[in-house]
Amino acid sequence: VSRVDFIHSKNFIHRDIKPANFLMGIGRKGNLVYIIDFGLAKKYRDARTHQHIPYRENKNLTGTARYASINTHLGIEQSRRDDMESLGYVLMYFNRGSLPWQGLKAATKRQKYERISEKKMSTPIEELCKGFPVEFTTYLSYCRSLRFDDKPDYSYLRQLFRNVFHRQGFTYDYIFDWNMLKFSGQRFDTNSVNDGSANKIETNGYSASGNAPQQMYTSTNNQGVCRRTSKDIHQIQPQQSTSNNSKQQIPIGTDTGRSSSARAPKK
């Protein structure tokens, strides 16, 4: 949510929100989400006056049909609401492993887009999000309710998922599912395992509630599994990035995700 919020704050919409366009950093930046591929991005308002682009219809579908908003399928000019709706489908893809409109067959690409659109419109949000926290239903319902030139309430949307995060008992420890898979079963020096020692490493560039950067630690448990933890982190706020990465990679924001089956950090 924060990544898309940042792009919108720079007067652009992405128009191709999909899992493959979200990447995780590596090494000390392993907890940062990067958004890439601005080949379909479009300026939606004037940088000086903030005059919004006009409403138009009969537009060709731009983006990836699986994650496109309903209005995009209907040929309506895209705006901020469409990026946010697409993000909702990405989140549900992560939750479910697939979407109801995947795997539809058709003779032509246009016919396939029409079948995807029909299935998307005929699938109630409650059915799409069944079995998952109600906040996902709330998120998509909110995004679909936005008018063409409305500014999404990004803070409200972030808070929805913070509520889920805390209700599920997760903590900001930067230990994600893929970290656990990577380190499970790996053995380390037995001395450090036995004495429970922790090796301090460089700070990760985040601060807690505006204070100094928190220290990150690596430690090993009795099974030799490495865990990366932090101290006293409750609400994460970004500091200015000094990354020399491509201009198409924007590590800005507070929330995290993953380009393939991301889930919340482990406790």
Q: Which are the catalytic amino acids?
A: 16
Nearest to 55 by CA among 77, 33, 35, 37: 77
> How many CB atoms neighbour CB 212 within 10 A?
8
Rounded Cα–Cα distance for residues 186 and 176 (Å):
16
> Which residues have C-beta within 8 Å of that of residue 84, sequence separation ≥ 6?
1, 4, 143, 146, 152, 157
Name the phi and psi angles at 95, rounded to 5.
Answer: -65, -45
Q: Which residues pair with 218 in a beta bridge?
A: 199, 228
**Among candidate residues 83, 80, 57, 53, the one with its CA nearest the CA of residue 68:** 83
How many CB atoms are closer than 10 A to CB 157?
23
| CA distances to 60, 89, 115, 130, 187 from 74, in Å | 9, 17, 12, 25, 54
What is the rounded distance in angstroms from the CA atom of residue 234 to the CA atom of residue 257? 18
What whole-number distance in Å separates Cα of residue 189 and Cα of residue 196? Answer: 11
